[in-house]
Amino acid sequence: MYRSTDELQSKSGMHLKKITTLAEAEIAAAALDDIVSSLAIPPQPIVVQQMQTEMGKPDPDVRKAAQIVSQDIGLTVAVLKAVNSPLFGLSRKVESVDAAVNLIGLRALSNLVTAVSLRTALPGEADALANFFDTSGKRAFAMARLARELPGIDAPHAQTFGLFCDVAIPLLLRRFSHYRETLQHAETDTTQSFTEIEHRAHHTDHALIGALVAKTWGLPQNVCLAIRLHHDYKIFLDAKVPREICTLVALGLVAEAAIKRYAGEHRSAEWAKGGDFVAGALVLSPDEIEEWVAQLHADFAAGIE
C-alpha cells in the first residue's frame, strides 16, 4: 500500500504554505502503509505513558511522578546516572528520584524517562545500536546545550528531537537488506534530498517513520513535524512553518556539524544542503555558529555529554 505515501511525497513541490499540512498527512498515511506494519515500530512503554498522563494533569504530582520512575530499578539507576552527568551540571550528587525531580523539574524528568526507555525499546544488533545511541546522545546533548544558551528555545523539546530524529534508522536497517548502502549514499550526496534517496530505494524514509514513532510515543506535535521535515530545507523559506520547527532543524544541523568534526570528518553533506539557512533561523552570525561547533567539539573531546 505504498501509493498513499508516494503520492503525498510527489506533491512536495506544492505551494510552500502546505509544507506542515502535507507532513501531518504523510504521518497519518504512513500508519496505514503495509511497509510500516512490517517494521515492528516499538509501542509507547507503559512508564512513558504514565509519566505523560501525570504531566497532562492540571496540577501534576511531583511525588507521584517520582514513584512512577522508582518502581523500576533499572530505570531509576539510568535516570540517576543521567541526572548526575555533566549534562545537568549539578553541584552535588543526586541519590534519589525524589531529589532529582526537585532539582531538575518534572519536564526534564519526563524527558529523561522517555530517553532511557528508548534505549530498551529499539530492536537490533548491539553494535549497531551502540553507534546509533552514541550519535543520538551527542546530538541530544548538543541541542539541549545550545537551547539553554540561546533565547526562546525549549530545551526539553530540543533534546527530545535530538534523540528521536534518526530513531527509524535501526528499524530500516533490520527491515531492508540493502538499506545500509542507501544510507551511505544519502549521507554523502550533497545535492539530492536524503529522504528522496531513501524513498526511491525503499518506498519510505527514516524521517517519516521516525515521525510516526514520535507520534506513537506521544511526543509534542512540533517535535513530530520537525522530525518529519528535518531533511526538507524548504521549511526555512516558508514563514508559515512554526518557528520552533525551523529552530529544531537548524540546531540539529549545528549538532551534526560538531559530531562530524569530532569524528574527523570536516565535510557534512547535510550542511552543504541546509547550512546556509542556519544563521538566519538561529539569529546568529556565521562566526558565532563556528564558535558553537568548536565548543561542542571540545565538549565531546572532554567527555562532557
pLDDT per residue over 97-131, tens digit each? 999 998 888 988 998 999 999 988 987 777 778 88
Whole-number pLDDT of residue 128: 76
* Distance separating alpha carbons of residues 259 and 253, to the nearest angstrom: 10
- Using a 10 angstrom Cβ sphere, with 0-12 exposed, 13-18 middle and 19 or more buried, the burial of residue 248 is buried
* Mean model confidence pLDDT for the chain: 89
Whole-number pLDDT of residue 126: 77
Whole-number pLDDT of residue 57: 93
Dihedral sign of CA atoms 229, 235, 240, 245 in order:
positive
pLDDT per residue over 15-40, tens digit each? 445 788 888 888 888 877 787 788 88
| Residue of 205, 197, 204, 201 whose CA lies nearest to 269 | 197
- Grouping H, G, I as helix, E, B as strand and the rest as coil, residue 192 is coil
The DSSP secondary-structure symbol of 38 reads: T
Whole-number pLDDT of residue 40: 83
Whole-number pLDDT of residue 179: 96
- What the chain holds in terms of domains, given with CATH numbers, is 125-301 (1.10.3210.10)
**Would you say 138 and 150 are in contact if contact means Cβ atoms under 8 Å apart?**
no
**Would you say 223 and 248 are in contact if contact means Cβ atoms under 8 Å apart?**
yes
Residue ranges in the chain modelled with pLDDT below 70:
1-17
State in Å, rounded, how far the first CA of the chain is from the last one.
41
Whole-number pLDDT of residue 143: 96
